[in-house]
């Protein structure tokens, strides 16, 4: 069993295959954190709440209650009652005071995992997951707070969320609701997070944890290019295989905060949840608020174990799409090929040449609707531009399908152009502050999809197009972040709900889409990777990783992304050179090898590239089909990192049954007077024998995992090669 309760010691024990999480209840009824780490065989460790060494424990000495509150390792801290560390819950009552205090009320343990209405949520059947509910109560406010812990034993993951119910008689205002807290002693922790900007998302950053609060956050209305809703605390010298890792990841697509606070007593508080800035939620008697989920995992075997736990968890318990393990078509997108300058014949020319070279889908990107010949108009006017598509959309789709290809299309449903029929008819549908000129970004505003009529309009625009022709793929884009936060629909005392209601509106629209079109392959996108988060994976099995398709830049971007996400979720394409973002020239083979560590496709004008490059496409497509299942289901190992002062980059995907492994090696910078390099593999059968495909070389698994494999034949800047080992 994954969850046990000791009635005598008032302790909960949450076990996964390799970890244990302990919770205790004090004599006063405070719910405290005891332990999270390597699996314990027995109950124990209650002394870690340190109740016996506190003469100022409230039941012993109420005079110094504040001293107790500022030290006690609580499971869900609240504000206003003496805990001066970061709180998870701020509640303002009807007379304007902030303060809440939670006491243990009851618990229940259930098989399976409850859904969270309106929110993306992990799932699992009986036998795969158990859920603990701890109900706490604030007797003064009449507030019931339910702490939920779902234990996924096989994946070494614990998922946490919180439900806040107003069971009292006065109106309350929630000004902060985080989803999880972890209090523990400092172990000279270092903090690892993912940061960047447009076209350089999710670069790995690592630094010593200092006294005070260090946070990662977004108040942009989305998870953002700049930050990512992930944080890991690691012990010194942690590597891919050694060291301890405590990680949190937020299943949410809007404003977030994740913070580590090193306190005066050398304790660490780690919290995660919806950002409190511009957040305020009305909670009338009888109403409840459900916070999004946090995914937690602990690894005693370095980053690699954390990575594989999260990969397995997201594949098995968050992604719902029928394409999770199904073959996805190799596509070609016309954006970098044509931008806005295309018509029916140009698209058909690309499709014909693509088909001849084994590509399976044409995706028509921005520019097919309204009067969209540049990016300053027509968003919201989702009618076909028949000056470009002269015979109509349906005819184009049917002509592409007659070639034996599938057809996909780009939308940006959440946006509205100032120069659009929609804005002229409904200017109040744009998010804006009354009396202020709203700021534009990419010459566009954001639709207020917190409003049902706006959601219904935007959704029906997408659905109508999909019903008009046999379209099998949608790229759902969002090319600006939110500002000027105001809604013409919400009352004055509810404007602080807009950010979260916007995200709930987005989830509702995408839930309708995947319900009404269950066989649709949906790819989310936000100016590249600004909304690459676990919340979106619940609706789409893949997300466009970055608008930067340069193979060398993608090494850092994809390494950071693959640290926590399965390779099959990363939208990755082969693009033209010089690269449109950085201007770099890289070999076509390397562009293909790097894109293979993702969904794989093309972003170029296949009718204009050189014959030499075009001739390589059939082989790359064949490689994708050969390795697709391994990449979708295998275990990922980071072997070497260019970002770690290496002149090369290397990763491996090994089959779970150790039957084969694919190694990708990229020589980023050539070096003089350097001999072969030894690459140590992982995830193989030590006793097995492995043939290097394409050669007569045979190695034992023990040799490959202890002695290593020599890279002899990759030299020069930006050169790369794939190595496939198959057990005989």
The pairs formed by 115-118 with CB atoms below 8 angstroms and a separation of 24 or more are 116/161, 116/290, 116/292, 116/293, 117/290, 118/290, 118/504, 118/507, 118/508
CA-nearest of 611, 718, 601 to 337 is 601
Cβ 210 vs Cβ 262: under 8 Å? yes
Query: Which candidate in 138, 312, 366, 477 is catalytic?
Result: 477
Cβ 617 vs Cβ 603: under 8 Å? no
Cβ 412 vs Cβ 379: under 8 Å? yes
DSSP 3-state of 165: strand
- Distance, in Å, from the CA atom of 519 to the CA atom of 514, rounded to the nearest integer, reads 8
What phi and psi values does residue 23 have, to the nearest 5 degrees?
A: -130, 140
Q: Helix 393-402 vs helix 344-356: angle between axes, to the nearest 10 degrees? A: 20
Active site residue 341: no
**CA-to-CA separations, 480 to 63, 483, 557, 572, 658, in angstroms, rounded:** 53, 9, 20, 21, 44
CA-nearest of 269, 296, 285, 461 to 379 is 461
DSSP 3-state of 452: helix
Question: For 116, what's the count of Cα atoms within 13 Å in the CB-facing half-sphere?
Answer: 31
Active site residue 343: no
What phi and psi values does residue 35 have, to the nearest 5 degrees?
A: -160, 145
The full 3-state SS of 277-329, as one line of letters, equals: CCCCEEECCCCEEECCEEEEEEECEHHHHHHHHHHHHHHHHCCCCCCCCCCCC
Which structure tokens are listed for 518? 């269950």
CA-nearest of 504, 130, 112 to 290 is 504
CA-nearest of 223, 336, 260, 283 to 89 is 283
Cβ 404 vs Cβ 355: under 8 Å? yes
Residue 704: which residues within 8 A CB-CB, separation 6 or more?
680, 681, 684, 690, 725
- Distance, in Å, from the CA atom of 395 to the CA atom of 480, rounded to the nearest integer, reads 32
DSSP 439: P
Strands 203-208 and 361-364 turn out to be unpaired
DSSP count for the chain of H helices, then E strands: 14, 39
CA-nearest of 633, 723, 631 to 681 is 723
- Distance, in Å, from the CA atom of 607 to the CA atom of 683, rounded to the nearest integer, reads 42
- Distance, in Å, from the CA atom of 584 to the CA atom of 576, rounded to the nearest integer, reads 10
Cβ 576 vs Cβ 604: under 8 Å? yes
The full 3-state SS of 28-56, as one line of letters, equals: CCCEEEEEEEECCCCCCCHHHHCCCCCCC
Residue 460: which residues within 8 A CB-CB, separation 6 or more?
none
How many C-beta atoms lie closer than 10 Å to residue 436's C-beta?
9
Query: Which candidate in 183, 547, 576, 605 is catalytic?
Result: 547
**CA-to-CA separations, 110 to 43, 134, 267, 304, in angstroms, rounded:** 20, 12, 33, 31
CA-nearest of 554, 726, 574, 580 to 651 is 554
| Bridge partners, 617 (sequence order) | none
- Distance, in Å, from the CA atom of 532 to the CA atom of 551, rounded to the nearest integer, reads 19
**Catalytically active residues, by annotation:** 477, 547
């Amino acid at each position: 069993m994954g969850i046990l309760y000791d009635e005598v010691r008032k302790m909960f024990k949450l076990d996964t295959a390799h970890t244990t999480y302990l919770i205790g209840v004090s004599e006063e009824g405070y719910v405290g954190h005891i332990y999270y780490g390597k699996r314990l065989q027995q109950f124990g460790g209650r002394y870690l709440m340190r109740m016996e060494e506190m003469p100022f424990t409230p039941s012993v000495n109420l005079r110094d209650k504040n001293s107790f509150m500022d030290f006690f390792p609580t499971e869900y801290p609240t504000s206003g009652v003496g805990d001066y560390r970061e709180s998870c819950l701020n509640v303002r009552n009807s007379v304007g005071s902030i303060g809440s205090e939670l006491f243990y009320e009851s618990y229940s343990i259930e098989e399976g995992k409850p859904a969270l209405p309106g929110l993306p949520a992990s799932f699992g059947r009986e036998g795969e997951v158990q859920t603990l509910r701890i109900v706490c109560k604030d007797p003064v406010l009449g507030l019931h707070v339910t702490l939920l812990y779902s234990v996924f034993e096989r994946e070494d993951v614990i998922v946490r969320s919180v439900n806040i119910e107003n069971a009292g008689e006065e109106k309350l205002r929630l000004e902060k609701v985080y989803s999880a807290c972890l209090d523990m002693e400092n172990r000279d922790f270092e903090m690892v997070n993912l940061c960047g900007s447009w076209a350089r998302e999710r670069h790995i950053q690592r630094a010593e944890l200092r006294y005070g609060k260090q946070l990662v956050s977004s108040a942009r209305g989305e998870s953002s290019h700049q930050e990512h809703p992930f944080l890991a605390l690691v012990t010194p010298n942690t590597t891919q295989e050694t060291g301890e890792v405590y990680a949190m990841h937020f299943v949410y697509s809007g404003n977030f905060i994740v913070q580590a606070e090193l306190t005066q007593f050398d304790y660490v508080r780690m919290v995660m949840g919806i950002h409190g800035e511009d957040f305020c939620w009305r909670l009338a008697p009888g109403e409840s608020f459900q916070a999004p989920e946090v995914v937690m995992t602990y690894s005693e075997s370095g980053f690699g174990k954390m990575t594989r736990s999260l990969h397995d968890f997201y594949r098995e318990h968050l992604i719902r799409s029928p394409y999770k393990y199904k073959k996805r078509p190799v596509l070609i997108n016309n954006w970098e090929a044509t931008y806005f300058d295309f018509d029916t014949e140009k698209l058909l020319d690309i499709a014909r040449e693509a088909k001849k070279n084994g590509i399976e889908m044409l995706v028509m990107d921005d520019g097919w609707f309204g009067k969209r010949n540049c990016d300053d108009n027509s968003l919201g006017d989702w009618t076909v531009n028949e000056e470009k598509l002269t015979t109509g959309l349906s005819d184009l789709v049917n002509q592409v399908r007659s070639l034996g290809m599938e057809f996909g299309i780009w939308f940006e449903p959440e946006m509205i152009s100032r120069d659009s029929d929609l804005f002229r008819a409904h200017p109040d549908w744009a998010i804006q502050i009354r009396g202020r000129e709203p700021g534009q970004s990419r010459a566009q505003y954001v639709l207020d999809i917190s409003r049902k009529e706006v959601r219904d309009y935007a959704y029906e625009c997408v659905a109508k197009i999909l019903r008009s022709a046999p379209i099998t793929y949608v790229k759902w884009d969002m090319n600006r972040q939110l500002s000027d936060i105001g809604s013409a629909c919400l009352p004055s005392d509810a404007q602080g709900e807009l950010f979260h209601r916007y995200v709930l509106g987005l989830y509702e629209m995408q839930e309708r889409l995947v319900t009404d079109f269950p066989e649709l392959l949906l790819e989310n996108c936000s100016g590249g990777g600004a909304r690459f988060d676990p919340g979106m994976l619940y609706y789409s099995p893949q997300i466009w990783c970055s608008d930067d398709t340069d193979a060398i830049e993608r090494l850092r971007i994809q390494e950071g992304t693959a640290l926590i996400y399965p390779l099959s979720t990363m939208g990755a394409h082969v693009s033209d050179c010089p690269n449109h973002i950085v201007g770099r020239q890289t070999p076509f083979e390397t562009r293909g090898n790097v894109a293979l560590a993702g969904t794989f496709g093309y972003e170029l004008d296949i009718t204009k590239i050189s014959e030499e490059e075009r001739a390589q496409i059939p082989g790359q497509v064949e490689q994708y089909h050969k390795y697709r299942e391994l990449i979708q289901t295998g275990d990922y190992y980071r072997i070497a990192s260019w970002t770690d002062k290496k002149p090369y980059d290397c990763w491996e995907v090994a089959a779970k049954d150790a039957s084969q492994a694919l190694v990708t090696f990229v020589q980023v910078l050539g070096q003089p007077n350097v001999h072969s390099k030894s690459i140590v593999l992982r995830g193989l059968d030590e006793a097995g024998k492995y043939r290097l495909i394409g050669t007569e070389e045979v190695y034992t698994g023990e040799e490959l995992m202890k002695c290593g494999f020599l890279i002899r034949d990759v030299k020069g800047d930006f050169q790369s090669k794939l190595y496939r080992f198959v057990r005989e």
